[in-house]
Amino acid sequence: MPRLMKLRALVLGLICSFTTTLYAQTGPGGESTPAESEAPTGFLSIIFSGGIVGAIMILILLALSLTAAYLIFDQLMTIRRKDLMPEGLSDQVRQCLLSGDVPAAQQACNARPSFLSFVLMHGISELEFGWNAVEKSVEDALAEQSARLFRKIEYLSVIGNIAPMVGLLGTVIGMILAFQNVAATQGTASAPQLAEGIYQALVTTVGGLIVAIPSIGAFAIFRNRIDQFVAESAYMAQHVFTPLRRRGGKK
């Protein structure tokens, strides 16, 4: 809840900054001020120099960037070795199973809920049915938990694919408006005026790439981390239940 309130305050602050910049550029009556004919030099001036259409696209990209930042921070706090695979849990469960104390093994898993404990609990629940049932249950648990982790980072991939499209849409609309202005003036628009309209339209493309590149990079990093942790969890589960396999699949 505090994170959501901070995110909302940040969005409101940026919207206020945008409206102030736009008001300064257009004036109180919606007419262009003399400063509009000059090339914008500041960062915010360049960002909001695309007019209403460009500003709308920038706000959409801003929302996507804030969402991507929240997802990245959340995954950094979630996809960690100590949270997914608590240290010593597999050895503790293995010792309990070697001594035949199945309730103690279940209690150890329940006391430290995590990715690995979920997988081990599924295997323990099938002990009475032999090794094949245990192996199948562990595989199903691994697939379920890995799919759950992948679903959370898939949004980063979606944002990385959508952001350039939004930026390109803003650029295309800006180019249409620029050439429409040339057509309306019957070709009397000067080259500097046409160039100004084009570079203002390209601002949204730059914004889309700025949002997409970190999102796709973070998605690739998190995907590799999940693959690594899933493989290590599978190895640990196999190590825990190896004594069962050596005894011919009997409890």
Tokens describing residue 199: 């570079």
Please tell me the predicted confidence (pLDDT) of residue 34.
38
Q: Whats the size of the chain, residue-wise? A: 251
* Burial class of residue 28 in the structure, from the number of CB atoms within 10 Å of its CB (0-12 exposed, 13-18 middle, 19+ buried): exposed
- Res 187: pLDDT: 62
Predicted structure pTM score: 0.72
pLDDT score for 59: 86
Domain boundaries, the chain: 39-83+142-246
Considering only CA atoms, which of 192, 170, 169 is closest in space to residue 181? Answer: 192
**Four-residue CA torsion sign, 40, 44, 46, 51:** negative
DSSP annotation of 247: T
Tell me how far CA of residue 36 lies from CA of 22, 78, 90, 111, 177, in angstroms.
Answer: 11, 47, 67, 65, 17
Q: Where are the beta strands (DSSP E) in 14-144?
A: none
pLDDT 10s per residue in the chain (251 long)?
Answer: 455 454 445 444 544 444 444 444 444 444 444 333 444 455 556 555 556 766 788 888 899 999 999 999 999 998 888 889 988 898 899 988 888 888 898 899 999 989 999 999 999 988 888 888 888 999 999 999 999 999 989 999 999 999 999 888 888 887 887 777 777 777 666 666 666 667 767 888 888 999 999 999 999 999 999 999 999 999 999 888 887 766 554 44
Q: How far apart are the first and last CA of the chain?
A: 47
